[in-house]
Structure 1
Amino acid sequence: MAEYDFDAVVVGAGAVGLACGYALAQRGLSVVVLEQEAAIGQGVSSRNSEVVHGGLYYPTGSLRARLCVVGRRQLYAFLETHHVDFDRCGKLVVAADAAGAAQLERIYDQAMVNGVEGMQRLTRAEALALEPELACEAALLSAESGVFDSHGYMLALRGEIEAAGGAVALSTPFEAAEPLAEGGFAVRTGGADPAELTCRYLVTAPGLSAQGVAAHVAGFPAETIPAGHYGKGMYFRLVGKAPFARLVYPPPIPGALGTHYRRDLGGQGIFGPNLSYVDHPDYTVDPDAAGEFYGYIRKFWPGLPDGALVPDYAGIRPKIHGPGEPQPDFRIDGPEAHGIRGLVALFGIESPGLTSSLALGDEVAGRLGL
């Protein structure tokens, strides 16, 4: 039987890559997680809404629906056990008019199909009793939605990997991998201290770099690699007192859940993200976009004062659909897709990937037969 340096190599130390490493380590494998940056979670995982999603919207039978609900339950339990800060504050999905109210009914029905707990239909009066500054005709309450400390979560995952004898190798970019004749892979890393190591299993979960990493695995069929797109979302922070205790979301827009409100764990109000497609990762926040935000937010919070929004941060989502195209499911490609034994490649893991991360890790382990 072949001897390997590690049982498994995971590419990418964001939330999903770390969760994959954790799932494999929990199954008794020796694991190393490769990260090109000097710290964990520097990409998609550090520039998002830090929302724990209930699992309301996603199509029946999809990976997104199943893994969000299962992953959300796992996530709260993990956060409690590891003393990571969170607030299960609940979420209101609000409708501004009769058409929006009809859309809420469809969302409620989908949430029931998806097995989401704690859902309630609210009249306008019931919604305003919870959040008096809200403007809406009707609302849904998702009691299981919340916010959490995503960086604290990733640190806890890293700690679990290392406690199991694994490693997270920072400033260690993945360069290439080649399947070995006897099974497993030779993996080449770059950076200041280039190396080659061998492993039985390879998992690629590098977020925005998913297509490039897959293309550097020898024998990975190019035609199976989905086209990648950068979906940029900007956030604005509210100056002054946060108006709502709960998350507030309008009904979703094509390709995203829409610009929403959250009160972060520090008690400040944040609005975002919007969605635009860009040619390359660009994390600038255009102050002129505030005008668009004011108009959108005042549909559900007419009391938003002039001058109260300040630019905060931007994130990039690793989309595998372009503008105007339907949003596809998560892509978790095993040997049935690319023909390479022992390899699982993840593509398009955007929202609700953070909420789903522990379930994604278990799914990857299952795809490897573990």
Structure 2
Amino acid sequence: MTETVECIVAGAGIVGLAIARALARAGREVVVVERNAWIGNETSSRNNEVVHAGFLYAPGSLRARLCRPGAERIWRYCESRGIPCRRLGKLMPAADETELGLLAGLVEGGRRVGVPELELLDAAGVARLEPALRCAGALHSPFTGVVDTHALMLAYRGDAEDRGAMIAFSSAVTGGDVRDGLRLRVADPNGGETAVGCRVFVNAAGLGARRIALSLTGLAPRFAPRVHYALGRFLAWSGRPPFGRIVVPLGERLANGGAFTLDVAGRGKFGGDLVWVDEVDYRVPGDLAAKFAGAIRSYWPEVDESRLSPDYAGIRPRTWGPEAGNGDWTVSGPADHGVPGLVNLLGIETPGVTAALSLADHVLGLLGIAPAPED
């Protein structure tokens, strides 16, 4: 016998919870299927918690279109709910005139995509903000900050559950058939499997989203492109943080762990770096301090690598690999693949935390569902 539910969302990370919240607020019956025992156990809890201003993504891309509106919404939402957040601002230091030119291009590009507050500072202007930072100049983004992502996910979950949504933990979508309606197979914690029919299925399963998409009989494989794993390791900084703002260098220095971030409690960390991997492995080696310090010294020569220690790691799913440059999310709805009620989200990484509310409304739009106005 097949059970039925109106809407199923696979994945209780921040994007899945935001989508479940939007569906529930639109008056839909929602069940979230989460393979872990708690919300946000994967990418959503293993990132730098940055709220991005929205100027780093290709014009016209989903990331560019949804990031800035998402950032504006997330600041309003957190402030109205008392969710810990800090609008710290971000500096992107330039090592030389060539990099200053690149940053000037980002400032101009930001104006074209609705990020007007960016400014290019000279070395003296940077020193007034961050005396320890050494550079030829820097891009300053005052709208960037950090948020307590766990508290934010709890709030999204609470909003969804207040409107009747339910979460099935330690359960997983193992396959389905979408040739004539949406019929899924859902494994439960006891090893059983249930056939479930639904009118809407949103695959927001993060690292597991491609596996689910490939398991849907009737969905063309081209709508399940390869997902590459971008591993980022973070090192904690012991002692007083050297900067009061986020600091993000360019190029290889960023990929080698040179970015600095504070959390909402004021603790500093460096990273993540960028390593392409084939398997999920969250271990942080104990020998990364020298690599990270080499990148950090490009703008902070006094860094003491003995004060860097392993913290945590996360994996960002990307539908583009190391040779493809900066790509976009892959979000396909009924108008793309021809399956009514189905939306697949693959490669949802940065700025997924920032854009989650806007992305949720975008998904509802693909389904022909009008989002409810925010309270």
**Secondary structure, in 3 states, of the residue corresponding to 1:288?**
coil
**Secondary structure, in 3 states, of the residue corresponding to 2:108?**
helix
Aligned to 1:310: 309
- Give every structure 1 segment of 4 or more consecutive aligned residues whose post-TM-superposition deviation is greater than 3 Å: 183-187, 252-259
CA deviations on 1:250-277 (whole Å, 9 max, x unpaired) are: 1356997974101112222100011011
Q: CA RMSD in A?
A: 1.9
* Residues 43-192 of structure 1 mapped to structure 2, 5 A cutoff: 43-179=42-178, 181=180, 183-192=181-190
What is the identity percentage for the equivalent residue pairs of Structure 1 and Structure 2? Answer: 40
**Secondary structure, in 3 states, of the residue corresponding to 1:132?**
coil
Moved more, 214-223 or 345-354: 214-223
| Contact 2:145/2:246 (8 A) holds in 1 | yes
| Contact 2:258/2:293 (8 A) holds in 1 | no
- Distance 1:99-1:258 versus aligned 2 partners, 3 A rule: farther
* Residues 323-338 of structure 1 mapped to structure 2, 5 A cutoff: 323-338=322-337
Count the aligned residue pairs: 367
Aligned to 1:239: 238
Distance between the aligned counterparts of 1:134 and 1:278, measured in 2?
32
Distance between the aligned counterparts of 1:303 and 1:249, measured in 2?
17
Q: Which runs of 5+ in 1 are unaligned?
A: none
Q: Which amino acid aligns with 1:211?
A: R
**Secondary structure, in 3 states, of the residue corresponding to 1:60?**
coil
Query: How far apart are residue 290 of structure 1 and its match?
Result: 1.5
Aligned to 2:278: 279
TM norm structure 2? 0.93
| Contact 1:238/1:268 (8 A) holds in 2 | yes
Distance between the aligned counterparts of 1:45 and 1:136, measured in 2?
32
**Secondary structure, in 3 states, of the residue corresponding to 2:322?**
coil
| Contact 2:248/2:254 (8 A) holds in 1 | no
Distance between the aligned counterparts of 2:62 and 2:15, measured in 1?
14
Aligned to 1:217: 216
Aligned to 2:367: 368
Query: How far apart are residue 291 of structure 1 and its match?
Result: 1.1
Q: Which amino acid aligns with 1:202?
A: F
Query: How far apart are residue 279 of structure 1 and its match?
Result: 1.5
TM norm structure 1? 0.95
- Distance 1:256-1:165 versus aligned 2 partners, 3 A rule: farther
Q: Which amino acid aligns with 1:69?
A: R
Distance between the aligned counterparts of 1:344 and 1:169, measured in 2?
20
Distance between the aligned counterparts of 2:258 and 2:367, measured in 1?
37
Distance between the aligned counterparts of 1:4 and 1:160, measured in 2?
25
CA deviations on 1:30-55 (whole Å, 9 max, x unpaired) are: 11111000000001001000000011
Distance between the aligned counterparts of 2:108 and 2:126, measured in 1?
19
Aligned to 1:296: 295
| Contact 2:319/2:328 (8 A) holds in 1 | no
Does residue 250 in structure 1 map to residue 249 in structure 2?
A: yes
- Distance 1:294-1:255 versus aligned 2 partners, 3 A rule: closer
Query: How far apart are residue 338 of structure 1 and its match?
Result: 2.2
Distance between the aligned counterparts of 1:26 and 1:257, measured in 2?
42
**Secondary structure, in 3 states, of the residue corresponding to 1:244?**
coil
Distance between the aligned counterparts of 1:339 and 1:253, measured in 2?
41
CA deviations on 1:102-121 (whole Å, 9 max, x unpaired) are: 11111111111110142122
Distance between the aligned counterparts of 1:259 and 1:226, measured in 2?
31
Query: How far apart are residue 4 of structure 1 and its match?
Result: 7.8
Aligned to 2:12: 13
Distance between the aligned counterparts of 1:254 and 1:202, measured in 2?
41
